[in-house]
């Protein structure tokens, strides 16, 4: 039976399904009309109490100074009315080569303006704990309000932690005081005057100051020093800080840089392989900043899509962490069981002191049971976090998800639709003050409850007065392995909601995947040095100057005390996307969405689409203007809208203005994934990843800023994917994580069989002309064994031979291709032709049998300190008039064929289909098939019940490793490493 007659048979069913589908879609407000997520108005008054509720959180006014554990709510700060500058200045250059056109997504970079030097100097100095600001005449003129309430909420020498509501209230009060003047000079003066007052807790002051900085556009201009230099004790182990102090006690000329690496945490066992991710200074600094920008209390106006961003940002962290585990030979993240008395498997020793209180964050032994917590400072208060209550809150939320409606306080219900459902769920789960029914779902939110239970798990009844563990504070929680298993459990709750939404279909329904008239013909990533689609990671070091933050008590360290902090890094690269635009199609404004995911699981088996969609992590999102005909889109990795640079050290900040102008001035707002962690660590032999790029209609994706676009005169550049437009709308209308946030679409197996979910990314992508994928290998170069235990077992990757990439005729052949005939100086390699590398334990070792190559130490990789490329714009689009003669295409040899299969709609069993058929007029039958299967799936179709069900074994074949045998002429070895 031919395709057309087959299509005819199902067209009637498609019509029927369209009627059904309307029931699902009528409330979503789509149909090509630009839309906005999230309520524009604050919803707190409508649904969410601002006041503390119930016995769980204790009395509102504590009688005793709060030294211990309080779970009240409170603290009001101002957080509205400001907005992050739009992308307008960068957009023009982004699309300049493409002939103009507005760019919606605020690209990371661009712009710049005057910095008030004297104010900047003062601002810097108020973060310098070696200075006694009480006696500084510049700040004595400011009149500070009585801070008695601040001190009562968090005494000066208390151990500050963010899930203590009293402490948060103290931060809110400081922030309110600092944003009150609405004048940067006065704010800095007030801050300087307040900092060293006898009752001011330094950790409260820092967070209040950061909160004010992030919420006020007038303060954006001021460069914040890196948080590791302001409060090193919360990011660096006590052992390393002790070593740094010892250096500080020596004559300045004889001091050495204290190396901070993973050696301190060896007692954390195999999990210590990931110390460089979990304990990365910028990761933890970012997490602190994110929660300061999106606080769950102390605000009266809901940030645009805050709840959804809570879901998505943490989802992306987990997916990213998952890839990091694979590269270290560790298994997937499993959701943590938080039932009563359930043991917490992971032990963790943070090696972290709080220098202000003199306390140490308590380590957690393995298998500690989850128990109710109490605080003893306030007499007569019953357990404040109950495990049973938390279990109940989880069950209520998940029941509401299954019922597709939330229970409201008045007994009514609120639908959980595809547009706002995830946002409201984020508010409920965390919970923010905008949760619609705190009495029912938990005012504190089962997310916050769990952080407290885990933070106090060593002494839940407070019998010994142990300080809490790191899970109770946002600046430290991402250090702990349990953070990821815990957040995975919440991600499953969010995903339950997503699984119950209709999958995005190719042409029908809500936000269909296809964009008519747009086709990606090929995709590649080109490293600055090396071979196309082969990326490299390595360990690097960055020097920070700790002397100003070593001691809140001004211990009198004179001169610089530096720490050489080890971090993962990668060589920069460029995405190249070749796309055709039919002149008759839309305006051509395209949103480019870039994701990456591991291709194989920890056992070397190929992920199927059900599995892989959950572990895709976003790398970039930007807007370009496509010209009619062929286009080449190029985008630098350093321009990622996900990441920010490492902030400038104090020492760099103190350079003269002239010095700074040479290197493009960089400021630091703190919100954004650390750029050096954009890519997961590769392996010595090369770890295969799938890169996925999708173009969607930028006109439909456009979200206008709420306020008039205005840039701060400085260069505060939060990363828009995680941080939106600060204090304004989120700039992308689609659900965060689109298209992987929902289950993959169904494809019919054959005309007599039931449809099925597409199995692989290849199949998924081949149905979407405006999407493409490429296999990318990430190779880790350089030594790391001194601090990183290497995986013990070699993994054999099992490729599905039927899905192997087929070379595609190159429409836009590269120009002069070059391939070094011999390795770079200092590098030797040997290539193995072993088809199936043996499963030997040494094959991950350098030069091991079956390993791809061996390297000898090479020179340092190019420093990333040069930072973002000038302009820092969106993708560049080059219309290509004569395919085959691409000017300026500095070609590289492609050893891995591009994977963009023909747009084959159906599976291999339908041989009579034209695999290159781009006439999609027959696709409407999918509506019926998918609706049919969707309902069956809900009733227990196996694909949905077993999300990790592997592909059928017979589909697997042993495969040659030749794709992954990489040439190591990237000079990615840091010769200073480990010295």
The Cα–Cα gap between 649 and 632 comes to 37
Contact 57, 168 (CB under 8 A): no
Contact 433, 347 (CB under 8 A): no
| Bridge partner list, 538 | 569
Instruction: Specify the residue, 73 or 196, whose C-beta has the smaller distance to ligand CUO.
Output: 73
What is the nearest approach in angstroms of ligand CUO to the Cβ of residue 291?
Answer: 6
Name the residue number minimizing CB distance to ligand CUO.
477
| 772 φ, ψ (degrees, to nearest 5) | -155, 160
What would the x/- binding string for ligand CUO be over residues 889 to 928, using CB under 6 A?
----------------------------------------
Instruction: Specify the residue, 451 or 542, whose C-beta has the smaller distance to ligand CUO.
Output: 451
Q: What is the DSSP letter of 385?
A: B
What would the x/- binding string for ligand CUO be over residues 541 to 580, using CB under 6 A?
----------------------------------------
Instruction: Specify the residue, 492 or 528, whose C-beta has the smaller distance to ligand CUO.
Output: 492
The Cα–Cα gap between 873 and 105 comes to 10
631 near ligand CUO, judged by CB under 6 A: no
What is the nearest approach in angstroms of ligand CUO to the Cβ of residue 313?
Answer: 8
What is the nearest approach in angstroms of ligand CUO to the Cβ of residue 290?
Answer: 7
User: Residue with structure tokens 């694909």?
Assistant: 943
The Cα–Cα gap between 912 and 922 comes to 14
The Cα–Cα gap between 247 and 256 comes to 7
396 near ligand CUO, judged by CB under 6 A: no
Size of the site for ligand CUO (CB under 6 A): 8
The only residue of 201, 237, 297, 477 in contact with ligand CUO, by rule CB under 6 A? 477
> Strand, helix or coil at 472?
helix
Alpha helix stretches (DSSP H) within 259-305: 275-278, 281-293
What would the x/- binding string for ligand CUO be over residues 483 to 502, using CB under 6 A?
----x---------------
The only residue of 451, 581, 734, 742 in contact with ligand CUO, by rule CB under 6 A? 451
Residues numbered 307 to 346 that lie near ligand CUO (CB under 6 A) are 314
Identify the active-site residue in 166, 279, 324, 430: 430
Instruction: Specify the residue, 98 or 274, whose C-beta has the smaller distance to ligand CUO.
Output: 274
447 near ligand CUO, judged by CB under 6 A: yes
Render 166-195 in DSSP notation, one character per residue: HHHHHHHHHHHHHHTT--HHHHHHHHHHHH
Closest-CA residue to 716 (of 310, 289, 300): 289
Q: Is 651 exposed, middle or buried (0-12, 13-18, 19+ CB in 10 A)?
A: middle
Residues numbered 130 to 149 that lie near ligand CUO (CB under 6 A) are none
524 is catalytic: no
287 near ligand CUO, judged by CB under 6 A: yes
Instruction: Specify the residue, 89 or 297, whose C-beta has the smaller distance to ligand CUO.
Output: 297
The Cα–Cα gap between 886 and 15 comes to 46
Contacts of residue 80, defined as CB under 8 A and 6 or more positions apart, other chains included, come to 299, 300, 301, 727
What is the nearest approach in angstroms of ligand CUO to the Cβ of residue 596?
Answer: 22
Instruction: Specify the residue, 454 or 726, whose C-beta has the smaller distance to ligand CUO.
Output: 454
What is the nearest approach in angstroms of ligand CUO to the Cβ of residue 850?
Answer: 41
What is the nearest approach in angstroms of ligand CUO to the Cβ of residue 470?
Answer: 11
The Cα–Cα gap between 224 and 191 comes to 14
What is the nearest approach in angstroms of ligand CUO to the Cβ of residue 328?
Answer: 22
Instruction: Specify the residue, 471 or 525, whose C-beta has the smaller distance to ligand CUO.
Output: 471
Instruction: Specify the residue, 129 or 494, whose C-beta has the smaller distance to ligand CUO.
Output: 494
Count of C-beta atoms within a 10 Å radius of residue 342? 16
Instruction: Specify the residue, 670 or 872, whose C-beta has the smaller distance to ligand CUO.
Output: 670
> Strand, helix or coil at 705?
coil
What is the nearest approach in angstroms of ligand CUO to the Cβ of residue 82?
Answer: 23
Contact 624, 202 (CB under 8 A): no
Instruction: Specify the residue, 290 or 970, whose C-beta has the smaller distance to ligand CUO.
Output: 290
Contact 396, 440 (CB under 8 A): yes
Q: Is 450 exposed, middle or buried (0-12, 13-18, 19+ CB in 10 A)?
A: buried
Contact 592, 623 (CB under 8 A): yes
Element (H, E) at 766: helix 761-766
Element (H, E) at 937: helix 925-938
What is the nearest approach in angstroms of ligand CUO to the Cβ of residue 471?
Answer: 8
> Strand, helix or coil at 885?
coil
Token code pair at residue 769 = 């002309």
> Strand, helix or coil at 413?
strand
Contact 335, 487 (CB under 8 A): no
Closest-CA residue to 964 (of 608, 615, 598, 607): 598
What is the nearest approach in angstroms of ligand CUO to the Cβ of residue 287?
Answer: 6
Interaction site with ligand CUO (CB under 6 A): 287, 291, 314, 447, 451, 474, 477, 487
The residues annotated as belonging to the active site are 430
């Amino acid at each position: 039976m031919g395709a057309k007659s087959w299509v005819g048979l199902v067209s009637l069913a498609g019509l029927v399904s369209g009627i059904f589908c309307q029931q699902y879609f009528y409330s979503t407000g789509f149909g090509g009309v630009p839309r906005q997520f999230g309520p524009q108005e604050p919803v707190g008054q409508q649904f969410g109490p601002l006041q503390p509720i119930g016995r769980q959180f204790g009395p509102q006014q504590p009688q005793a100074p709060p030294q211990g554990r309080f779970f009240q709510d409170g603290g009001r700060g101002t957080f509205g009315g400001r907005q992050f500058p739009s992308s307008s200045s960068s957009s023009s250059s982004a699309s300049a080569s493409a002939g103009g056109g507005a760019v919606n997504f605020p690209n990371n970079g661009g712009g710049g303006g005057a910095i008030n030097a004297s104010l900047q100097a003062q601002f810097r100095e108020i973060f310098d704990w070696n200075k006694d600001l009480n006696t500084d005449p510049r700040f004595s003129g400011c009149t500070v309000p009585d801070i008695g309430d601040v001190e009562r909420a968090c005494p000066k020498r208390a151990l500050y932690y963010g899930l203590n509501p009293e402490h948060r209230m103290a931060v809110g009060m400081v922030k309110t005081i600092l944003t009150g003047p609405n004048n940067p000079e006065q704010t800095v003066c007030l801050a300087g005057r307040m900092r060293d007052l006898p009752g001011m807790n330094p950790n409260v002051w820092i967070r209040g100051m950061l909160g004010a900085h992030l919420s006020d556009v007038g303060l954006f201009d001021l460069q914040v020093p890196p948080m590791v230099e302001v409060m090193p004790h919360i990011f660096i182990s006590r052992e390393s800080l002790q070593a740094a102090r010892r250096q500080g006690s020596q004559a300045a000329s004889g001091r050495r840089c204290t190396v901070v690496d993973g050696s301190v945490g060896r007692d954390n066992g195999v999990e210590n392989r990931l110390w460089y991710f979990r304990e990365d200074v910028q990761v933890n600094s970012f997490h602190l900043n994110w929660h300061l920008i999106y606080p769950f209390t102390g605000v009266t106006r809901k940030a645009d899509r805050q709840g959804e961003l809570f879901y998505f940002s943490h989802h992306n962290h987990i997916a990213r962490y998952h890839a990091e585990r694979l590269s270290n030979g560790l298994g997937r993240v499993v959701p943590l069981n938080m039932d009563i008395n359930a043991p917490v498997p992971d032990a963790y020793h943070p090696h972290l002191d709080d220098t202000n209180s003199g306390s140490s964050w308590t380590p957690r032994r393995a298998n500690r049971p989850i128990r109710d917590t109490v605080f003893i400072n306030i007499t007569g208060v019953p357990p404040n976090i109950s495990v049973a209550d938390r279990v109940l809150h989880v069950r209520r939320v998940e029941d509401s998800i299954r019922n597709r409606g939330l229970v409201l306080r008045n007994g009514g219900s609120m639908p959980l639709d595809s547009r706002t459902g995830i946002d409201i769920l984020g508010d409920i789960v965390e919970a923010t003050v905008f949760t619609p029914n705190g009495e029912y779902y938990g005012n504190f939110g089962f997310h916050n409850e769990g952080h407290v239970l885990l933070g106090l798990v060593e002494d839940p009844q407070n019998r010994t007065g142990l300080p809490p563990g790191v899970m109770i504070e946002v600046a430290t929680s991402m250090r702990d392995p349990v953070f990821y298993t815990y957040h995975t459990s919440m991600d499953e709750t969010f995903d339950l909601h997503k699984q119950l939404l209709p999958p995005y279909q190719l042409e029908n329904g809500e936000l269909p995947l296809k964009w008519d008239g747009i086709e990606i013909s090929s995709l590649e990533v080109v490293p600055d040095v090396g071979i196309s689609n082969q990326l490299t990671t390595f360990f690097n070091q960055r020097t920070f100057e700790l002397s100003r933050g070593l001691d809140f008590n001004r211990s009198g360290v004179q001169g610089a005390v530096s720490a050489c902090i080890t971090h993962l890094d990668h060589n920069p690269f460029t995405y190249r996307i070749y796309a055709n635009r039919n002149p008759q199609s839309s305006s051509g404004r395209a949103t480019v969405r870039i994701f990456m995911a591991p291709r194989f699981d920890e056992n070397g088996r190929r992920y199927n689409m059900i599995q892989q969609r959950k572990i895709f992590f976003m790398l970039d999102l930007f807007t370009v203007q496509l010209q009619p005909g062929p286009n080449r889109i190029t985008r630098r990795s350093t321009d990622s809208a996900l990441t920010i640079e490492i902030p400038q050290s104090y020492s760099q900040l103190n350079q003269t203005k002239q010095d700074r102008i040479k290197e493009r001035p960089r400021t630091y707002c703190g919100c954004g994934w650390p750029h050096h962690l954009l890519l997961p660590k590769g392996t010595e032999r090369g770890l295969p990843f799938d890169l996925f790029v999708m173009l969607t209609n930028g006109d439909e994706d456009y979200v206008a800023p709420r306020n008039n676009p205005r840039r701060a005169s400085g260069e505060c550049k939060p990363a828009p994917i995680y941080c939106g437009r600060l204090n304004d709308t989120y700039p992308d209308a689609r659900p965060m994580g689109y298209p992987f946030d929902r289950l993959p679409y169904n494809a019919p197996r054959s005309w007599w069989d039931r449809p099925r979910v597409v199995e692989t990314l290849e199949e998924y992508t081949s149905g979407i002309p405006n999407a493409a994928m490429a296999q990318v290998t990430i190779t880790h170069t350089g030594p790391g064994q001194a601090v990183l235990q290497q995986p013990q077992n070699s993994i054999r990757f099992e490729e599905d031979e039927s899905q192997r990439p087929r070379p595609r005729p190159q429409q836009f052949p590269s120009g002069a291709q070059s391939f070094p005939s011999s390795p770079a100086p200092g590098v030797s390699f040997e290539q193995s032709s072993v088809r199936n590398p043996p499963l030997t334990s040494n094959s991950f070792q350098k030069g091991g049998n079956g390993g791809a190559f061996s390297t000898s130490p090479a020179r340092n990789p190019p420093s990333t300190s040069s930072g973002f490329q000038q302009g820092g714009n969106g993708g560049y689009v080059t219309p290509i008039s004569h395919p085959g003669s691409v000017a300026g295409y500095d070609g590289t040899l492609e050893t891995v064929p591009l994977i963009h299969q023909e747009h084959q709609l159906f599976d291999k069993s339908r041989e009579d289909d034209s695999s290159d058929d781009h006439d999609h007029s027959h696709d409407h039958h999918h509506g019926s098939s998918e609706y049919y299967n969707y309902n069956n799936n809900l009733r227990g179709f196996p694909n949905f019940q077993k999300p990790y069900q592997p592909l059928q074994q017979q589909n697997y074949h042993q495969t040659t490793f030749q794709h992954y045998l990489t040439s190591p002429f990237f000079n990615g070895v840091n010769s200073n490493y480990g010295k």
